Structure 1
């Protein structure tokens, strides 16, 4: 049974396209028409259609081979479906095509250009998992993406209008003000998240769309609606679409122009979707009437070993047939390096085959035109190999724009988490409790230990709060940041600096509220002392947050990061100078690694030197009390061991802040880069 005629493929495609224009509203065409009117600057940067060809793709993950000698070809306006059972290498192939996985062998070409960094930025890769910030609404998510990824040539108003058009054409109007949500918070439905994921990538008007199982988890109606939208977009805008499908319905299956069937990482079939049934019939595997072809072919390649080997052998034989795409028959065409002839096209850069005029004439008109256009583009730049010059990529927005937008987004995303109602109740309740516990302490030697207890408790509590708060923010955020970094949305330096600045007001709010409640209840003696103590409490909190950022960046496993943080914070408290003063000489050096040690000393220096003096007890443990009525701050600090002056402690804390934040950036930049 043959589902379409070979000679009438292009004609039938035009008929189907015309029918779709009549019977179905081509909603994505409205985006093109309105963009031409309102966003001419965007259309000036509109990428050329992409002719994607890959041959001999072999790849492995670790030492395990996943793909072996896989070929494929997809042209502008076409949808290539990659199908196969679980574990056959579908996602690995998309990772290879997007440049995220290194090839063991094989070549990938975009319009006869080898894959390089310049092309990677023009690829839209929609992951199978819908990774978003759960507390942002759909509109906020798209607006931030537009401000980051659309050129600075467009004004803010134009970017927001473009977001409106994307929301309209993907039919997301009814849910644009709904939060994304997660497993704890109810938000968008599965189908809406899929379309939102695609909408974020469509903002950049990509040349090539790679989608990893976008229909998984959707009901039949939502899956069909999504595929219809993708098909219309590919046809109307001339986009090249590669999509992996696990077990599609017959309607979705027939929407795809090309089919690449994988079996254990090898090609089981590549060609027109409408010819796959004939391919299986020719090797003695006949489909029953009214049976879903997608289910049939998947059942065959999951069958006995003999049938699978038979299918793979037939696919290898098909590569030798004359109907196999000329672009993939690289071994049949000799390379031309010096000789030029009127019947032979000048050589392309890279190992892509030169094509004789007879083979060129056999191509469809649209394909031949694209081939010639891309050739002329290639020959105009002689040194167009994968050099740094040709692969140069300029960011769509400036560093300042990226920093400003990311700081705003980070503040908006982190505010519900850091300033939640529970944190407010906890902070106010703890401030009142600490104030009542150390209420109006007298400035006497008998109360000295209690005053020091308030200082030590305040510094250690907010150290733990900030460190573990920063630690818990990295795992859910890391996936989003990795996805955006892989797509080339912004610089890592802009993100890192924006995260530091964006969360700074949120980091200092709760400790400041605690201090405003508890310290006056302890005994308010001087506004200068009050503000200075607040400054050192906040500085210690920010330093602790820096340590949390560094550990969170280093450890991908949450349990490991919690264990490391617990060990560090416990050691910091033990050597802080309050819990233990008689430290063994061979462990004395440990106190210099304790941030609490420096903050605690500074708070004592300020409180006991600029505040009201401490009156000696009748039976004082300080020898100075035999000569003086009040205990000087030097004697209080000497009782705890060696100490540094105020300026030295402050410099050390600032050094902690700078070093840990720099180390966190270095880890993200050079070690834990997104794979």
Structure 2
């Protein structure tokens, strides 16, 4: 069953913070309207008129905000968490993973979002049904694509975004400018698809910037906004008659949408001037700010349109909202339910997100650029330390330098890779969490573990080249322990990158902080400075470079023969292992709580 949405006197303000003072800005000023199942409501208006803000309020994206006023009801009930599973929200930006195919994208969405009463096969069949419903069968095995990856066309991307939402068969579908950036034929196909969705008994609300005349006539209802105020609400087919009735008629043949947007902007160049405004201009009662070249100013025109709507139409529409609507009692009781309904258990969410993350990022991990970077560095190191001899003090000193470089390289590299993780996926995380697609903990654990199998491959290749070219200790035990030590360093360094990225969520600030931190850890790593002043010596104990370097020395050299190498005492290594494991979990906990705080705020 569809959802009847009614909103009355909706207001919304935001606080604009300046250098010294802050002021409240009105985004929406008393907006009233309604939309019923089977109808498509279009929200129109110039840029900055409040269309997206109103759509976000109707979709429950802005709730319990101190600057939101008025009432919004869904089948006569206020917004509740249950409604998240009944509302589809298509954002203006196409937030999709570029390396997944159309079929994979919709299948993962189905497995995560559809009720857990359905089997995996039923969920996958629903994804296929949506692909055919949206006409995407031709490109179902094509990657979505992005800035650096070729993929599907703009219209197909938009249909995939819509498919992500209609896959749950929502009662209410909200779309933010679904036709922006598309050619007129593709835009018409999208709007026709919205019509079909509405005809199936759903409620559809969409913002639209400047539709063609063909698109305009597809809408059932229209809300026209101007600077946050309501200029018109009613049937789209009656909009032109209403404005002619209040004295605003086009003087030339115009696209209705273009005419309405001109009015919302206060532009009446090719529009007849209402007699009331014309009288004011001729009588000379207006100030210079209220006239322009002998015509009313845009601000005065907007003021007239708002006033005309409030005096002639607003009260009639508000009375219509008071008429009770027959409701499905079962749905009415469910709307009152505030319990979240997850589409999959925690373990299922983890396994789905793990697999999705692995498929998405394997392309980045095994790009020729990354492999070339690691292997070329390994070959250069192998040539510089070619068959070094650790039997004499000078050779051992040289090898210690190589081991320190390995500790620094595999500490530096993962930090700056991991920093990008959460800032780059922030839009996706916000979008998916807003629909209760999965638990944050399931996402976090899956996101931070799906990289681990990939993280082991390049270090093994690196060490296979360096280890034997440089003539390090040739036996299976030390080689495997060296790999494990480097892997532990990588995971600890990744934790630091994740924590910095999640805490700051700004790439410029995050990379600056990471540069300073990694440089400090490197300098305190035990190779450059042997006698560190006691007041700053504590830094080496929180440096993963220091602990990795000590472990690599321990693996290569027997502590009984050489208890001190390059100024560093060789001991059992248990302290270093414990320290690195503590960093692995400690930094990740910090990253998780930073994400949790971001989500709450």
State the TM-score, normalizing by the size of structure 1. 0.80
The answer to whether structure 1 residue 649 and structure 2 residue 565 are counterparts is no
Equivalent in the alignment of 2:464: 516
From 123, 126, 130, the equivalent of 1:159 is 123
The answer to whether structure 1 residue 176 and structure 2 residue 140 are counterparts is yes
Equivalent in the alignment of 1:456: 404
Uncovered stretches (5+) of structure 1, i.e. residues with no partner: 1-47, 330-358, 361-370, 611-630
- What is the Cα deviation at residue 674 of structure 1? 7.5
Distance 1:608 1:377, change over 3 A: closer
- What is the Cα deviation at residue 534 of structure 1? 1.3
From 529, 533, 537, the equivalent of 1:580 is 529
The answer to whether structure 1 residue 478 and structure 2 residue 426 are counterparts is yes
From 177, 185, 194, the equivalent of 1:221 is 185
* SS in structure 1 at match of 2:95: coil
Equivalent in the alignment of 2:295: none
From 42, 49, 73, the equivalent of 1:88 is 49
The answer to whether structure 1 residue 426 and structure 2 residue 373 are counterparts is yes
Distance 1:437 1:539, change over 3 A: same
Moved more, 433-442 or 123-132: 433-442
- What is the Cα deviation at residue 319 of structure 1? 4.6
- What is the Cα deviation at residue 516 of structure 1? 1.7
Equivalent in the alignment of 1:396: 343
Runs of 4+ in 1 over 6 A off after TM superposition: none
The answer to whether structure 1 residue 126 and structure 2 residue 90 are counterparts is yes
Larger radius of gyration: 1
The answer to whether structure 1 residue 271 and structure 2 residue 234 are counterparts is yes
Uncovered stretches (5+) of structure 2, i.e. residues with no partner: 16-23, 267-297
The answer to whether structure 1 residue 60 and structure 2 residue 10 are counterparts is no
1:60-459 counterparts in 2 under 5 A? 60-62=13-15, 63-101=24-62, 102=65, 104-235=68-199, 237-288=200-251, 290-303=253-266, 304-319=298-313, 321-322=315-316, 324=317, 326-328=319-321, 371-374=325-328, 378=332, 390-442=337-389, 443-459=391-407
Cα distance in 1, alignment partners of residues 456 and 533 from structure 2 = 36
The answer to whether structure 1 residue 494 and structure 2 residue 442 are counterparts is yes
Cα distance in 1, alignment partners of residues 81 and 118 from structure 2 = 24
Retained in 1: the 8 A contact 2:554–2:570? no
Q: Provide, for residues 152-193 of structure 1, a one-character-per-residue CA deviation record: whole Å limited to 9, x for no partner.
A: 332232222222211111111122122111122221111111
Retained in 2: the 8 A contact 1:439–1:521? yes
Q: Provide, for residues 281-308 of structure 1, a one-character-per-residue CA deviation record: whole Å limited to 9, x for no partner.
A: 1211113464221111111121222221
Retained in 1: the 8 A contact 2:213–2:255? yes
Q: Provide, for residues 199-245 of structure 1, a one-character-per-residue CA deviation record: whole Å limited to 9, x for no partner.
A: 1111111111110011110111111111011111111x211000001
Retained in 1: the 8 A contact 2:89–2:174? yes
Retained in 2: the 8 A contact 1:605–1:633? no
- What is the Cα deviation at residue 522 of structure 1? 2.3
Equivalent in the alignment of 1:355: none
State the TM-score, normalizing by the size of structure 2. 0.89
* SS in structure 2 at match of 1:80: strand
Q: Provide, for residues 260-316 of structure 1, a one-character-per-residue CA deviation record: whole Å limited to 9, x for no partner.
A: 111110111111111111211121111346422111111112122222111101211
Cα distance in 2, alignment partners of residues 377 and 98 from structure 1 = 18
* SS in structure 2 at match of 1:183: coil
The answer to whether structure 1 residue 595 and structure 2 residue 544 are counterparts is yes
- What is the Cα deviation at residue 396 of structure 1? 1.1
